[in-house]
Amino acid sequence: MAKKKSSPDWEYASAPETTAVNIAKRYDHFINGKWITPSNKKYFATTSPSTGRKLSEVAEGSKKDVDTAVKAARAAYNGVWGKMSGRERGKYIYRIARLIQERAREFAIIETMDGGKPIRESRDIDIPLAANHFFYNAGWADKLEYAFPNMPAKSLGVAGQVIPWNFPFLMAAWKIAPALATGNTVVLKPAETTPLTALKLAEVIADAGLPDGVVNIVTGAGETGAAIVNHPDVDKVAFTGSTGVGKLIQESVAGADKKVTLELGGKAANIILEDAPIDQAVEGVVNGIYFNQGHVCCAGSRLFVQENIYDEVMWKLKQRMDTLVIGDPLDKNTDVGAINSKEQLRTIKRYIKEGVKGGADIYQPECDLPTKGNWCPPTVFTNVAQSSIIAKEEIFGPVLAVQTFRTVSEVIEKANNTPYGLSAGVWCDKGSRLFQVTGALDAGVVWGNTFNKFDPTSPFGGFKESGYGREGGLHGLGAYLDLPL
Amino acid sequence: MKRIEVLKTYKLYIGGKFPRTESGRYYTPEGRGGKVLGNICQGSRKDFRNAVVAARSVAGGWGKRDPYNRSQILYRIAEMLEGRAAQFEDELKQHGSTAAAARKELQVAVDQCIYYAGWCDKYQQTFSSVNPVASAHFNFSVYQPMGVVAVFAPEKSALAGLLGTILPIIAGGNACVVLASESKPLCAITLAEVLATSDLPGGVINILTGNRDELLDNVSTHMDVNAIVASDLTDAHKAAIKANATHNLKRVIIRKEDPAKSESPYPILATQEIKTTWHPIESSIAAGSGY
């Protein structure tokens, strides 16, 4: 574990999570209820970002593999899943939820090994929330006529789903659970750097006895994802990832009659007003940007502090950053884990360099980073111009850009002055002012006096270029239903 | 001696004003029996941009009005429309409707205004939610207007289809820029006169006439338009709009059902964003845990 040089000058004893987990040497595609070798016989390695060690290798999905998976999903939709009563569908989904709960620790450890996030997060957030998503949606399956009154609750057919590497298991649950509850079948592709927990989920799905072909999991990189979204027999495309790729997807399926939902990037404003509870706000800022190493689309990457409390906030924030434990993600004390991939680390470093070059002041706590793996210390930039690249572009790393403001109307203007609109945060002790600001922010999720909270009952999704459609809650079901308009 | 009739100059409706197109162009659609309807403005890209500026400048204020107030203004549109029934019926007949069909369409149009006037202060209550999260937070999801919506109005239904398309958009607090039916533009132009006298702030609805093919790309690539609602599109138009919309990820809502016939709150929701707000709830057991 990383040594802390700064105060307090005591160290935590290491507390690694040691439960044994079972990772196979090689994984095939999960298609039609069976493990299928890739048609081109190619596999690629998935490594641990915290050690650089190879964990396993997974199949490289070709167009042909995707076609096989879509055919299996179509057959399952026509043959069994599309006709099954909601009650029975729901019972299968409940089973999945329970099996995830039973194997939660194993999945948390694999998630942390494959993705680099602290075990504290995968154990307490990612996996339990994923189970909850299945549990919540399972109950909808036989109640859909109450979700959209006077509308037929008609499923779409085959859903093609492409998910990112920042919350691999949780995103799989977000995507698969509502699709199944609404009567669709699924072809899902996990990200190429974090395929393992989706493949473990395939084991759960098989154990739950789901009919063959209802859920198919194909691994691969961007080309495999493109083959899924562009497949002519895919009725629904659900994508979570960057705004750039999301736009490419919308463009590539523009000529097809597919229902699309996109959950894309963000550059959330986290706003501290002068009367805010400062200690709690600082905690929220840290959670907002350093949670999951900042690999969070809704991360609070822009901090706005009212001028008269700026010095106090920054002093407390830096002090708090000094106490963050950075290192082995499997250690239960770790606050900030490994950067997900070498490529992402390069991107983050490029932005940090740009920030320094642009004249902003940088602060990083002193800490010994492990020598192997991909690491970036928590970073904060002050004196950041609204026009600077680190205040405008999504970095997707532990990098915070701080700006100040004088009036509420000024900060609303600045916060909304971005093409993104996924999330925002406001810290304020006065209810009327809090609701003035939350109401005025153009963002799909707004946290008042908290940040980065998620729940299966709570719709998630963005305004503007952060994508469209909602996931979660009653409203999220609409993304998987054919609602006539 | 027969009195010489005074003919009307057909204009656009932008920001509450009635300009002719800045381009100076016109086209001459034919009505019943091949009779030329008039020199209708062939609106240009610049007209569209001006209309978006007008819409954007009032969208925020319109969206923040009390739903009760919006509701009364939509009701006022119905009042004004009813008062001009004879004129609309005459125009519908010029567009080829029988007298009975024209009468019916006018009645449907007026009733749609009443229907959507009623929804202004009800859709939020009906479709918002308080979400039972598994933690000590108060969490609720509400609808918020998207902002500026561009509309390709139905081509065939000159009045009821037009109102069935734009009423849900403004009922939800959006502003819009409408490209009227190209072949049947008269009712849209007269509707502008109704709107101008119905307490609706200028700019909330802007109405252009012109050529859909020509303006399609300009409308769908405009970076300050939040959404597009369209009817009667060809497949090529659909694909072009959806591809163009990627520039700023406009929401593209293609009405599958005839807006003249499908009264429902769902078209209102189609031009709304959902915003979810979280706030901690303090627990008296662990004092201070609220944050």
- Flag whether residue B249 sits within 8 Å of chain A, measured between CB atoms: yes
pLDDT tops 80 at residue A307: yes
pLDDT tops 50 at residue A1: no
> Tell me, what's the pLDDT at B37?
94
Amino acid sitting at position A257 = D
> Tell me, what's the pLDDT at A389?
97
pLDDT tops 80 at residue A468: yes
B96-115 burial string, b = 16+ CB within 10 Å, else e? bbeeeebbebbebbbbbbbb
- Flag whether residue B246 sits within 8 Å of chain A, measured between CB atoms: yes
For the segment A18-41, the average pLDDT, to the nearest whole number, is: 96
pLDDT tops 90 at residue A4: no
| DSSP string for residues in A38-92 | -TT--EEEEE-TTT--EEEEEE---HHHHHHHHHHHHHHIIIIITTS-HHHHHHH
pLDDT tops 90 at residue A11: no
Superfamily for the B26-126+143-272 domain: Aldehyde Dehydrogenase; Chain A, domain 1 (3.40.605.10)
For the segment A449-470, the average pLDDT, to the nearest whole number, is: 98
pLDDT tops 80 at residue B285: no
Structure tokens at A275: 């009367």
For the segment A105-134, the average pLDDT, to the nearest whole number, is: 98
- Residue with the bigger pLDDT between A12 and B285: it is A12
Question: Bridge-partner residues for A30, per DSSP?
Answer: A35, A217
Q: Are B173 and B68 a contacting pair, CB within 8 Å?
A: no
Which band of pLDDT confidence, cut at 50, 70 and 90, is reported for residue A9?
A: low
- Nearest CA-CA partner of A470 in B165, B193, B142: B142
pLDDT tops 80 at residue B204: yes
For the segment A22-38, the average pLDDT, to the nearest whole number, is: 98
Q: Which domains does chain A have, with CATH numbers?
A: 26-264+464-480 (3.40.605.10), 269-448 (3.40.309.10)
CA distance B242 to chain A (A): 5
The rounded mean pLDDT for chain A is 96
Minimum-distance CB partner of B131 among A280, A458, A468 = A458
Nearest chain B alpha carbon to A468: B251
Check A251 against B246: CB less than 8 A apart: yes
pLDDT tops 60 at residue A317: yes
Check A455 against B251: CB less than 8 A apart: no
- Flag whether residue B9 sits within 8 Å of chain A, measured between CB atoms: no
- Flag whether residue A135 sits within 8 Å of chain B, measured between CB atoms: no
| Distance in angstroms (rounded) separating the CA atoms of residues A209 and A205 | 7
Active site residue A367: no
For A182-230, the pLDDT digits (tens) are 999 999 999 999 999 999 999 999 999 999 999 999 999 999 999 999 9
Which band of pLDDT confidence, cut at 50, 70 and 90, is reported for residue B27?
A: very high
- Flag whether residue A250 sits within 8 Å of chain B, measured between CB atoms: yes
Beta strand pairing call for B205-208 and B227-230: unpaired
pLDDT tops 60 at residue B271: yes
Structure tokens at A51: 């050690």
| ipTM summary value | 0.96
The answer for residues whose C-beta is within 8 angstroms of residue A353's C-beta and 6 or more apart is none
> Three-state secondary structure along B163-180?
HHHHHHHHHCCCEEEEEC
Structure tokens at B282: 């303090």
The rounded mean pLDDT for chain B is 95
For the segment B260-286, the average pLDDT, to the nearest whole number, is: 90
For A51-86, the pLDDT digits (tens) are 999 999 999 999 999 999 999 999 999 999 999 999
Chains A, B: CB pairs < 8 Å: 124
For the segment A421-447, the average pLDDT, to the nearest whole number, is: 98
> Tell me, what's the pLDDT at A89?
98
Nearest chain B alpha carbon to A278: B291
Q: What percent of chain B has pLDDT over 90?
A: 93
Which band of pLDDT confidence, cut at 50, 70 and 90, is reported for residue A128?
A: very high
What are the residue ranges spanned by the domains of chain B? 26-126+143-272
Which band of pLDDT confidence, cut at 50, 70 and 90, is reported for residue B257?
A: confident
Which band of pLDDT confidence, cut at 50, 70 and 90, is reported for residue A484?
A: confident
For B31-78, the pLDDT digits (tens) are 999 999 999 999 999 999 999 999 999 999 999 999 999 999 999 999
Check B249 against A468: CB less than 8 A apart: yes
> Tell me, what's the pLDDT at B288?
52
pLDDT tops 50 at residue A316: yes
Structure tokens at A107: 């999945």
Structure tokens at A194: 């974090």
In chain B, which residues have their Cβ closer than 8 Å to the Cβ of A283? Answer: 291
pLDDT tops 60 at residue A5: no
